[in-house]
A and B are shown apart, each in its own frame.
Chain A
Amino acid sequence: MEKKKEMVFITVIGEDKKGIVATVATYLYHQNINIIDINQRIMPDGCFVMSMFVDVCDAAVNMEELSLGLEKIGQDLAMSVQVQHENIFRMMHRI
């Protein structure tokens, strides 16, 4: 039976630069995490935001390890990284 999807948003916030998507995507590939969708935008306040919608059901790491791994990448890129299960967005932004 196919595993139930476990959908998570990874959000990278900061100043736009080269290699953001490549760095995060490479890390996710190594953790066996499937990227479903990617979107990025410059916000009205000038902030660059890249959001990845990923399925972690087959991930080689748990949520804590994933958060720590991405936090390290965020530090290297000098950007903030948030890892959040999709349910929080569903609760906050959909009735």
Chain B
Amino acid sequence: MPFEVEEIYETASMILRQHLDIRTTTLGLNLKDCIDSDFGVFRKNVYDKVCSHAERLIAESARLERKYGIPVVNKRIAVTPVNLIMETHCEPEKFLEMAQTLDAAARDAGVDFIGGFGALVQKGLTRADSMLIEVLPDVLSQTERVCSFLNVGSFVSGMNLDAVNRIGPMLKQTAAKSENAVGCAKFVVFVNAPEDNPFMAGAFHGVGEADAALNIGISGPGVVRSVVEQNRDCDLTRLSEVIKRTVFKITRAGELIGRELAGALGIGFGIVDISLASTTARGDSVAGVIEAFGIEKIGAHGSTLALALLMNAVKKGGAMASGNVGGLSGTFIPISEDSGMIDAVCAGALGLDKLEALTAVCSVGLDMFAVPGDTPEETLCAIIADELAIGVINNKTTAVRVIPVPGKKAGDLVQFGGLLGTAPVMHVNGFSSRQFLKRGGRLPASVTSMRN
């Protein structure tokens, strides 16, 4: 026998009991070659390209799922940022029609989300960028599977506050047009957005990418929690080591599936994103990992240190396991998709201020949290700007996915259903930043970005 029973049992337990899965196989597609002066032809090109690739992605993912006995939960498509391909068809109706085309292609091919309806606007807005933001409330409320992003800043460009100031009103309009404001869950605003991130809602196929690339997102908070629980009394150095070893193993599984899937599809293998990503299933919780460290509820003092340790160990384990680690790799801390985060907010252990502090060491940012529907537009913009400033100055990706739910106040619960979970509406600081945000302009880049 080439392997010990213990090794086989460890792998089987990860999958059967600790929710280890390939969270997503995301195929990035270049759509620039679909552009045509005839908009009907252009849409048909896009539809055909997405459908044909998506169907093969689903079939091959299913084959590998059976071969390796590991669930491949989501199969998704990420496309070239739509603002780029729409420059010569810059009319609001056409933007909406393109979103509907992408939605139809995703639905017909059987993928649950298609990402890339967005723009990179860290320095300024083109006419197409501006129009894209204008139609987003309709796109997010009238389509089912289209996900959108904006990248409004970077380490070297600073942050475009004029773009941020457009987002608050856009989110309020989206919230008003969709049930429980769920349209807002399909939009994420970034700084330093990675061009190969496989996770929605922020996935897109970057302009520096090849025609197609296969990116894999692998998860497993339950696996990490289990190993932490088996090491209750060890010190932080040892704790980091055991997490690193476990993450190494699960990243290797992602690497195997990613390489084989890319080979079967005849395209290049992009990256493995090892991100501990929660689901609403009990035990599949990042908050659960932090609490297994010995913290009563996530949000208690000590949580930032715990999350920093977890992030660091996850990244190191991943980096050892694959030469292609990329995307966001680390740990997501969404509220609505993580039962432990929901419990912590409901118990009063975790508020928006501490959540923002946690995002300074997590891999993304303020994710899937609800705020009262009467939160002023400029306060939404200010929440976003604060979070993104952390990313610009510290040269890391940060992002915000905020849901202002009409008619709801702090303490209410909002059910989004399915993967999106349940969000306790969080208290928002009532003092205003209106005069500050009205200044607009651009936050200059950090002095540490001047390295040339």
Contact = CB atoms under 8 A, between A and B. Distances in A.
B256 A91 contact: yes
A53 interface: yes
A9 B68 CA distance: 10
Main secondary structure of the interface of B (DSSP, over half): helix
A43 B4 CA distance: 12
Nearest to A49: B9
Contact of A93 (B15, B67, B69, B249): B249
A28 B83 CA distance: 56
A51 interface: yes
B16 A13 contact: yes
A53 B3 CA distance: 9
Nearest to B69: A84
Contacts of B68: 84-85, 87-88
A14 to B, nearest CB: 10
Interface in A63-87: 63-64, 67, 80, 82-87
A60 interface: no
Contacts of A93: 3, 7, 10-11, 249
A49 B12 CA distance: 10
Interface residues of A, number: 28
Contacts of B9: 11, 13, 41, 43, 47, 49, 51
Interface residues of B, number: 26
B66 interface: yes
Interface string B226-259: 0000000000000000000000011011011000
A53 B252 contact: no
A84 B11 CA distance: 10
B11 A88 contact: yes
Nearest to A43: B9
A11 B66 contact: no
A13 B9 CA distance: 8
A9 B3 CA distance: 10
Contacts of B16: 13, 80, 82
Contact of A92 (B11, B67, B69): B11
A2 interface: no
Contact of A39 (B1, B11, B253): B1
Contacts of A49: 5, 8-9, 12
Given A67-B69, A82-B16, A11 B8 contact: yes
Contact of B67 (A53, A85, A89, A91): A85
Interface in B142-158: none
Contact of A63 (B1, B2, B10, B67): B67
Q: Which one of A49, A89, A92 has the highest number of Cβ atoms from chain B below 10 Å of its Cβ? A: A92
A23 interface: no
B8 A9 contact: yes
Contacts of A83: 66, 69
Contacts of B249: 92-93
Contact of A53 (B1, B6, B7, B63): B1
Contact of A91 (B2, B66, B255): B255
| 6 pairs of A and B residues whose beta carbons are closest in the complex | A84-B69, A91-B252, A92-B249, A91-B256, A41-B5, A37-B1
16 contacts: A9-B8, A41-B5, A43-B6, A47-B9, A51-B3, A53-B1, A63-B63, A63-B67, A64-B66, A67-B69, A87-B256, A89-B2, A89-B3, A92-B11, A92-B249, A93-B3
Interface of A: 9, 11, 13, 37, 39-41, 43, 47, 49, 51, 53, 63-64, 67, 80, 82-93
Interface of B: 1-3, 5-13, 15-16, 63, 66-70, 249-250, 252-253, 255-256
